[in-house]
Amino acid sequence: MITSKLVNQAINYIMQHIGEDISIEDVANYCHFSKYHFSRIFKAETGESIYAFIKRVKLEQSAFRLKVERGKTITHIGFDYGYSPSNYSSAFKQYHNVSPAEFRKNIVEHSMQHPFYPDTANKMESFEDCNRKVSIETMEDQYVIYERRIGNYHDLGKEWNEFLDKYKEYQTDKTLLLERTFDDVSITDVNSCLYDICMSVDKSCTLENTCMIEGGKFAVYHFKGFVQQIYAAYQTMFNVWIPMSNRKIDKRYGFDCYREINCETMYMVLDICIPIE
């Protein structure tokens, strides 16, 4: 878990400005530290240097855009993340081991290889079947207690139990349990996923680890099923619904909102909320 408030502020700044030409100095200045001192703090907390983290996120998020924005050229997407055409192709291939064109050609097939349950048979829904489960909703901002992690979603059950026990005094019958996601695990290494475990609270909460999750317009996939089926639902949204609906994902980050969970069977009802323009 990332416990440093400053490092969390730095990550927020990076994620909000990832399409810009941000530097180590920009991040350190935002946090009011010298770049050398803050670089040591950041790496000690995350396991990555600031430079490596920025580069990784740029190349992973641009890969995601190649996947869901099929009408955009590779050159245009690379440019959106600060790369010239030749530099983008070279950096992309060095990181992902395939060219941007090869990645885009094979990503749908690759997306159905479940990273956590490799023996699970994954099948994407048709657009029509998926569309029946999707509603377009305008959601309010949510003020939350959060804990941020860089790691593997496989540990979520244990992490949620610990989180809910730690903050049980803040729970009411109106509490929402949210999980903010920053990555597509068909692209990001399963052990490097950035995610926030969150619980809605009143704005009077004085804990340091609170923040506002921005609301707005979302495509909400109403999921009912078992935990190992959530991945296929996400990939259906990314590979089928988003491209075929002509909707565009905007610069906010999505989240899951848990409605019901059977801890014995791991059957759950949740809303997969994907921000759209």
Q: How far apart are CA 156 and CA 145, in angstroms?
A: 16
Tell me, what's the pLDDT at 171?
A: 95
Q: How far apart are CA 209 and CA 12, in angstroms?
A: 13
Q: Residue 195 forms beta bridges with which residues?
A: 149, 181
Query: For the segment 152-182, what is each residue's pLDDT rounded down to a tens digit?
Result: 988 888 999 999 999 999 999 999 999 999 9
0.75 cut: is pTM over it?
A: yes
124 DSSP assignment: P
Tell me, what's the pLDDT at 100?
A: 97
Question: What's the mean per-residue pLDDT of the chain?
Answer: 94
**Number of other CB atoms surrounding residue 265 within 10 Å:** 9
User: Is the pLDDT confidence value at 241 over 90?
Assistant: yes
DSSP letter for each residue of 249-269: B-SS--EEEEEEEETTTTEEE
Side chain identity, residue 258 = Y
User: Is the pLDDT confidence value at 15 over 90?
Assistant: yes
User: Would you state the structure tokens that stand for residue 7, as one six-digit string?
Assistant: 């490092």
Confidence band, pLDDT 50/70/90 cuts, at residue 118: confident
Question: Across residues 129-138, what is the average pLDDT?
Answer: 98
User: Is the pLDDT confidence value at 63 over 80?
Assistant: yes
- CA angle 136/138/140 to nearest 5° reads 145
Q: How far apart are CA 212 and CA 207, in angstroms?
A: 13
Side chain identity, residue 90 = S
30 φ, ψ to 5°? -60, -35
Q: In percent, how much of the chain has pLDDT > 90?
A: 86
Confidence band, pLDDT 50/70/90 cuts, at residue 86: confident
How many residues are listed for the chain in this entry? 277
130-275: CATH number: 3.20.80.10
Q: How far apart are CA 18 and CA 53, in angstroms?
A: 11
Q: How far is CA 45 from each of CA 7, 40, 114, 203, rounded to the nearest angstrom?
A: 7, 9, 29, 28
Q: How far apart are CA 55 and CA 69, in angstroms?
A: 21
Reduced to 3 states (helix: H, G, I; strand: E, B; else coil), residue 71 is coil
Nearest to 224 by CA among 274, 265, 260: 260
Q: How far apart are CA 97 and CA 59, in angstroms?
A: 12
Residue range(s) in the chain whose domain bears CATH number 3.20.80.10: 130-275
Confidence band, pLDDT 50/70/90 cuts, at residue 194: very high
User: Would you state the structure tokens that stand for residue 31, as one six-digit string?
Assistant: 């946090």
Written out in words, the top-level CATH class of the domain with range 5-106 is mainly alpha
Confidence band, pLDDT 50/70/90 cuts, at residue 116: confident
User: Is the pLDDT confidence value at 22 over 80?
Assistant: yes
Q: Which residue has the higher pLDDT, 141 or 120?
A: 141
Residue range(s) in the chain whose domain bears CATH number 1.10.10.60: 5-106
62 exposure class (CB count in 10 Å sphere: 0-12, 13-18, 19+): buried
Tell me, what's the pLDDT at 24?
A: 93
132 DSSP assignment: T
- Contact predicate 102/113, CB 8 Å: no
User: Is the pLDDT confidence value at 57 over 80?
Assistant: yes
User: Is the pLDDT confidence value at 84 over 80?
Assistant: yes
User: Is the pLDDT confidence value at 117 over 90?
Assistant: no
- Describe the chain by its helix, strand, coil percentages, rounded to 5: 45, 25, 35
User: Would you state the structure tokens that stand for residue 150, as one six-digit string?
Assistant: 């860089």
